[in-house]
Structure 1
């Protein structure tokens, strides 16, 4: 039989005329079995005295002319002593092994989520802080990389991108969490080298200096006015800022607070030691102004277990608002305070402490309002909680804040110790 032609092959296909083999010569054959949708090209040859067959491809994928060129190359290789069918099987096995290895590889985002679930949740006071850094920084920069493919340059690129957006403190946090995450991967035998190990704060956001920013009375009045003007600044954000100022608590002590800690009838917030930075539990007296603000939050989310429940599409693992929510919201207020120097949420506690001093509050009482440990020998032996004194102090602070909100208190005279004694 002579050489095959395209017309002949197409006629067999149209007539569904099946066969085991039609030869084209020089080892090229066409097979068209009952279960073949289209004919299949095969190359037959002998190697070490044994008949061998290698499939080239279907007629739909490989034309007659292409099949002839492929067969010619294979014949030349066989003549050089190569078993082309065995080589194809080896290439196929290598490709499958590569695919399996690729599928089995752990991506950084998978490592980050595992690290978060196993080492952060239930172990740290504010897991949402780590969650946010994974979602906002580690995931977008490194998440798609295989864990073993991450190099120091990838870590450096991530840190520099964070610094360039004006967030050096966050860069330091991200470096810390990234280093710990890869240390965890080493313990899990996923990698042998931590690509973040060589970096320190000088490679990220630099050494963090203590802040000294305090909002004056006039600036607080402007803040209250600006919060009412800012677009997209919700009632929840407004009340959160006010409560942080009045109660002198840390941001996440309030943002992660469940309603079960509050007794509004007795006007007390029972803040447990598990949720405080100092590891000290404290009963925080709630001035009437704070009670009214808390009741507003309750009305806004009557069925939530949290005073500030998670909003919209925030991460399902964190039921309350993220640690960055308040800071982001505050950014909407600052354009309405063009003459006020920059400040952050972290400056509110320092502001409260400073104004308590201006109001003549005893330093020990003021420090306990912030749930700071009393230093020295007195801190060791003095276990008095100063609840009533703190209640009086916060009521004075609430009176001042309310007056500032109404624009009436730029010149409220601070209560000095001498005035307090005469009273």
Structure 2
């Protein structure tokens, strides 16, 4: 049979004429079986005495002229000892392997989510503290890397970025959690090496020391003034700061609070044990100022079940604001306005409350219970009195002082007693 022509091929297609193969010469053939949507090009050759076939493509995508050109190139490769058909199969196998590897590849972000679901949820009293570290530090820095591709230099760069923004304690926390996540990955046979093992707190945020910072009356006056005038600072943040100061509760207890815990008519916050650091429930008496703020936050929430609902849709779908929202806003919007005030954080508000409660004449054991601290020693074993009425009076006195300071009135020059180191 002579060489093929485009006229012949188009005629066979039009007539629906099917055939096993028709040759063009020098190993190039055209096949048009019943199951073929369009005719297909084949290149036949022998290598080491064995017949081989390479499917080159369809007539619809490879013209007769292009098929002849490709066949000529294949003949040259065969002459040099290559196996075009075998090489094509290997390329396909490699592509399939890569697709499967990509499908099975676990990123650091996925590992963090898996670890959180398996090891944190249901086991930790305040899981959102860990979630915040995952979303704010781990995912932005190494979340897109495959777990097997994370190297010590990636861990180091992440820790240094956190320290550089002025959060050494958070760098320490991130290091601890990343180490645990990689240990978890080793147990799940995802990796065989923990790239964070070589790092210590010295490489992250350094040794942590107990803070003793608290805000004086004049510093509180300046804080209230800054919150009234700062750009980018919203009323919800102001209310959160006031409540943290007024009630002396921990940050996570307030921010993650559902409205159902508050009895505003009875002026009491029923804080359940599963949300406290001590693991014990406590009824917190609410000063009248706190009740007013809570009613306003409920109104601003627009029907949300949370005291401080998330302000925008978040990929992690936490229903309330992030635990770091208020602190980050303080650092960004308020601190620049208080250049003559020593640095402070949200964590210093409890110490501030405890110190001023002492200055107001509140008995030490009452002040400790205002912060939901257990009474220690033998006395604590036998004492079950919760000092509710005493705490109610103390917190109202403290709230009245905060009102006075918000008006810019320093009042009597009371010298605060030394504050105790708080958890």
| Fold agreement, TM-score > 0.5 | yes
Note the aligned Cα RMSD (angstroms).
Answer: 2.9
1:9 is matched with 6
Number of residue pairs matched? 413
Distance 2:113 2:45 in 1: 54
> Which is further off, 65-74 or 332-341?
65-74
Change (3 A) 1:92 1:332: same
CA contact (8 A) 2:358 2:416 kept: no
- Aligned residue for 2:222, secondary structure, equals helix
**C-alpha displacement of 1:345:** 0.8
2:111 is matched with 111
**C-alpha displacement of 1:3:** 6.1
1:372 is matched with 373
Distance 1:57 1:302 in 2: 62
1:420 is matched with none
1:419 is matched with none
Query: TM-score, normalization: structure 2?
Result: 0.87
Distance 1:142 1:309 in 2: 28
**C-alpha displacement of 1:318:** 2.0
Distance 2:140 2:403 in 1: 43
Distance 1:10 1:336 in 2: 84
> Which is further off, 308-317 or 151-160?
308-317
CA contact (8 A) 2:22 2:29 kept: yes
After the TM superposition, which residues 393-408 of structure 1 pair with which residues of structure 2 at under 5 Å, given as runs? 393-408=394-409
Query: TM-score, normalization: structure 1?
Result: 0.87
1:219 is matched with 219
* 1:125-174 CA-partner distances (Å, limit 9, x unpaired): 22222222222222222222222222222222222222222222222222
Distance 2:60 2:415 in 1: 91
CA contact (8 A) 1:150 1:195 kept: yes
Are positions 1:355 and 2:356 aligned together? yes
* 1:308-367 CA-partner distances (Å, limit 9, x unpaired): 222211355422221011112223223333322221111111111111122122222212
Change (3 A) 1:318 1:337: same
Are positions 1:102 and 2:115 aligned together? no
After the TM superposition, which residues 192-203 of structure 1 pair with which residues of structure 2 at under 5 Å, given as runs? 192-203=192-203
Change (3 A) 1:197 1:65: farther
Are positions 1:25 and 2:25 aligned together? yes
**C-alpha displacement of 1:88:** 2.4
2:244 is matched with 244
CA contact (8 A) 2:367 2:391 kept: yes
Distance 1:29 1:15 in 2: 14
> Which is further off, 64-73 or 219-228?
64-73
- Aligned residue for 1:333, secondary structure, equals helix
> Which is further off, 57-66 or 239-248?
57-66
CA contact (8 A) 1:217 1:410 kept: no
**C-alpha displacement of 1:232:** 3.0
1:264 is matched with 264
1:337 is matched with 338
CA contact (8 A) 1:109 1:144 kept: yes
Give unmatched runs, 5+ long, in structure 1. Answer: 417-423
1:229 is matched with 229
Distance 2:221 2:343 in 1: 15
- Aligned residue for 1:332, secondary structure, equals helix
**C-alpha displacement of 1:413:** 4.4
Change (3 A) 1:324 1:110: same
Distance 1:78 1:172 in 2: 61
Give unmatched runs, 5+ long, in structure 2. Answer: 418-423
**C-alpha displacement of 1:39:** 5.6
- Aligned residue for 1:368, secondary structure, equals helix
- Aligned residue for 1:322, secondary structure, equals coil
CA contact (8 A) 1:359 1:414 kept: no
Distance 2:381 2:31 in 1: 92
Distance 1:149 1:48 in 2: 42
Distance 1:313 1:304 in 2: 13
**C-alpha displacement of 1:306:** 1.9
1:145 is matched with 145
CA contact (8 A) 1:22 1:30 kept: yes
